[in-house]
Amino acid sequence: MDLTRARTVVAGVALAVVASLGWTTPAGAADAAARCAALAGVDIPARVIGLPTTGGAVTEATLVAPSGSGTTAIGEYCRVTAALHPVDPAAPDIRMQVALPTTWNQKALMFGGGGYNGTIPALDGNVPFGPGDAPRPLGRGYATFASDSGHQAPAGFLPTPSLYGEFLANDEALRNFAGDALKKTRDAAVFVIGRYYDRNTPQQTYFAGGSTGGREALAVAQRWERDFDGVISVYPAFNAATLDLYFGHMTRQLAAPGAFPRPAQQVLLYNAVVTACDGLDGLTDGVISNEPACRFDPVVLRCPEGQDTGDTCLSDPQITAIRAVSSPITFPYPLASGETGYPGFPFLSGADMSTPLLGLGTTAPATPMPKTAGYGMQFWDAWVTYAVTRDPAFDSLSLDPLAPGPWQDRISELTALQDVNSTDLRPFARRGGKLLLLHGTADELVSHRATVEYYEGLVQTMGQRRVDAFTRFYLVPGANHANVAAAFAAGWDSLTALDHWVTTGAAPADPVVRDTNPGATRTRPLCEYPTHPRYSGSGSPDEAGSFDCVTG
């Protein structure tokens, strides 16, 4: 057989395999470069976008060569960059990207952002709490897409681009961030996908995001129930403006004289909580699995006479502040979103110094707000100055979220815009949509207690039977917000579970989560709320099979 004929045979076999999987190539892989290049400069008409814009255009289209190997392998794809133009000429464009695999599985996935967004999430990235031992979505043949939610953080913005909040001063940019950019990005991406794949649109489209992205996941399920077949919402900041108010409460508590625990004292607190509550699940392993049963009073760490005498104890002002930020707050005025308070954080949260900027930070809050203060404190500062008062010179520490005075109406208005707290997802469920909801119990930035309240609200609104038909909610003990250097860094192939549920009707059954910390080999059952994993007393403590999902 000559070389030309051999190549033809091999190509034919490859295309047959692709066809047998239901995957497609854009009229054969050979012309992928030409098809990709043809997208450059393509107009995205305003009429294909379901919310007001002035249209958009593809600004760049580049064929990206295959890369990686094994679970990191990414096949050839066309990377498309586009801009969607606002109605208000003073508002920024929505910048977005789409990855179009040459060998496509006829499915699409939108990635959510984080913080105040401001950058486009990596199209070759993983879903939050995703597995390290399986290919990433783009590597599986998904067309992936994402946007900056309608503004770009300046290059090099410190301490992180996701804290850039100046865009909040523009109404259209604020609405885009609150949710409108999700619909605009999705519609534009579907247009681009259809243009590239000969008018073929995805058979299934999913959304995955954590934190702000988790809020965005719930927003698309609530507002545009026909656009996504399933969503993965991880540690969702669903009640975003209400969380901002909690951040303000926390910031003011920790700004009181002598109230801020230094980094070494934060570690002291963290270790004391773990020592007190680690064994409640039948195993001492550095992970508190039965968080609701953890009863810890920081007074056991009190310095003599309550005075700050060093890093081996806590002063009375520090104990007062720690108790305050760990307790629920109730707002003494109504909010338009219907939220009435925020449940606070367990003592375990915010004390792990592996991620200091996401917890309490290394510096007490002050005016101006230090770049080394906790993430939530800086988040509050940006929200107050650019969204609430729209006065960059305003001192955010002077605004009491429990008594906001002349700013009460504006704050209430923002909760109606930003909080995604409706617990009526019946339209999404009736259409066949599925929701996977996950949260780590050591989250230091978004309280898992709030997600528990959201889920219980779903049950109260829709009934347990209806909720069970389309939602699974899992709490992951030891997992923190960024899933970095956590007591238990969660890894689960939620995308496969979601896709299987959507396409076959089979809900996740006995899922197992893996600790993805470097060198870790532990697995645990992924227990459905309200249960948690408890060691059975026999078998390897590193194996999920040695644990039962229990209540109490």
Report the DSSP beta bridge partners of residue 83: 57, 95
Question: Which SS3 state, helix, strand or coil, does residue 57 take?
Answer: strand
Q: Is 512 exposed, middle or buried (0-12, 13-18, 19+ CB in 10 A)?
A: middle
270 contacts 322 by C-beta, under 8 angstroms: no
Q: What whole-number distance in Å separates Cα of residue 388 and Cα of residue 359?
A: 24
Q: Which amino acid is at 309?
A: T
Find all residues with CB under 8 Å of 470, minimum gap 6, and list them. 425, 428, 429, 432, 433, 434, 435
Q: Which amino acid is at 383?
A: W
Max CA pair span of the chain: 91
Question: Which SS3 state, helix, strand or coil, does residue 232 take?
Answer: strand
**Cα 3 to the chain's mean position, in Å?**
50
DSSP 463-524: -HHHHHHHEEEEEETT--SS-SS-SS-EE--HHHHHHHHHHH-----S-EEEE-STT---EE
Q: What whole-number distance in Å separates Cα of residue 348 and Cα of residue 220?
A: 31
Q: What whole-number distance in Å separates Cα of residue 432 and Cα of residue 26?
A: 29
How does DSSP classify residue 177?
I
Question: Which SS3 state, helix, strand or coil, does residue 94 take?
Answer: strand
Question: For 193, phi and psi rounded to 5 degrees?
Answer: -60, -45
Tokens of 122: 């990596």
Active site amino acids = 211, 443, 481
